[in-house]
Structure 1
């Protein structure tokens, strides 16, 4: 299996792409250190970071989509239904519902998608709002990027059931039990986090890309996105329920890992 992760920015500068190849388990192997006739243990997979690129344009991502099994992009794939409805109504001069007071609770219904609320429930923190934060500019680029991928004949399902899935690297790290405070601004802190990541995933071979991950937060996040994309590829994420599926196909859905890092390679 091959997974790819994209840390998306508004322009190619600041956008990174990581590709990981996974060697799948081949069966059961003898338990090391045991005598002849001892019970065997289940083999685990391994992962190798085969490429890590900065300054990535839409064409390279679309090319990559044609050769990987799953592609994860760190960006919102859509906007909240309530926000879209509000914009259309406001644009057409329609009056707000009499029950709307313009208060913060109502504004939050416009600011956050249903998947953002799930992220908060799982991690305790709100993600950036695609409606009200600068993430909106990146999401506009993501919409164009998804269109370029679709032009290659790759079906796009914003709920993540197809080849492309929405990934949130920071949330993934937290759900794997890693401490993320300060890593984006501090290279020393990022070095500690890389060490923690490798300690939790000794099967992961960075193939000499560690200096690039140390020097670039974008590169580091792309690698985490490619790891988290593996979770989506093997069904170790919580998909939207039937009640939310239609909405997720409009708004997008963040694939949050529901297992450990080790579960990415250990079939048990």
Structure 2
């Protein structure tokens, strides 16, 4: 099994991409780069592997879309909610916050919206090529992932490691060591230095790891009550509690 991870940015130069080969109870990083993949290259990668984890919202809150459509139509039928939470938080964002205590950035009110616009274009290319994109992540070639939430879920540091300052690179070095202790089956190969040098590279590896867990059924299923909305808004895959220790037995 081969999985990929995409730490997606609106800027190609900041987009990290990793590929992991899973075999005999091991997960080996076989490719890792930052700034090398345009939209077409990302689609080619997604089509070539078994599952790809994308760190980016796959959709927008449905009430926000309805809000924009009503506004474009003149505003006569626009319903103003009592709070903006329904416009800024997807159902999966609320779920992730409740499960992990980590609140995802708002795709409709934060800068991550720019990356989501690029992601929408990538998904469009995939669908035009015949791929069946399932935004719930339960089937199809992609799954939405959120490394910060997964790290929190695993009891690992999930803040302070992004950036190029000495304190940030130091925390990233500590995080890499702790990840490898928590995942003795993960082999960074020749790419450990890349993870130490770049948080985009490290997050791409984590995206590929979560994609592999998803492919092996080691992520929590989408609640039945949320399936319909998740198909439109996207859904963040959270690893099951025992996912890390279950990897070797599931190979």
Q: With structure 1 as the length reference, what TM-score do the two structures score?
A: 0.86
Cα shift at 1:190: 0.2
- Matched pairs, number: 243
CA RMSD of aligned residues (A): 1.5
Q: For the Cα contact (< 8 Å) 2:100–2:149, is it kept in 1? A: yes
Aligned counterparts of 2:248 and 2:234: Cα–Cα separation in 1: 27
The structure with the largest helix share of the pair is 2
Tell me which of 125, 133, 138 is aligned to 1:148.
Answer: 125
Aligned counterparts of 2:250 and 2:216: Cα–Cα separation in 1: 10
**Alignment map for 1:1-268 (pairs within 5 Å):** 1-24=1-24, 45-55=25-35, 56-92=37-73, 93-97=75-79, 100=80, 103=82, 106-161=83-138, 162-185=140-163, 186-259=168-241, 260-267=243-250
Q: With structure 2 as the length reference, what TM-score do the two structures score?
A: 0.92
Unaligned stretches of 5+ residues in structure 1: 25-44
Q: Deviations over 1:120-149 (max 9, x none)?
A: 011112110001001111100000011122
Aligned counterparts of 1:243 and 1:180: Cα–Cα separation in 2: 29
Aligned residue for 1:232, secondary structure, equals helix
Cα shift at 1:95: 4.5
Unaligned stretches of 5+ residues in structure 2: none
- Higher alpha-carbon Rg: 1
Q: For the Cα contact (< 8 Å) 1:62–1:152, is it kept in 2? A: no
Q: For the Cα contact (< 8 Å) 2:9–2:115, is it kept in 1? A: yes
Q: For the Cα contact (< 8 Å) 1:230–1:264, is it kept in 2? A: no
Q: For the Cα contact (< 8 Å) 1:6–1:16, is it kept in 2? A: yes
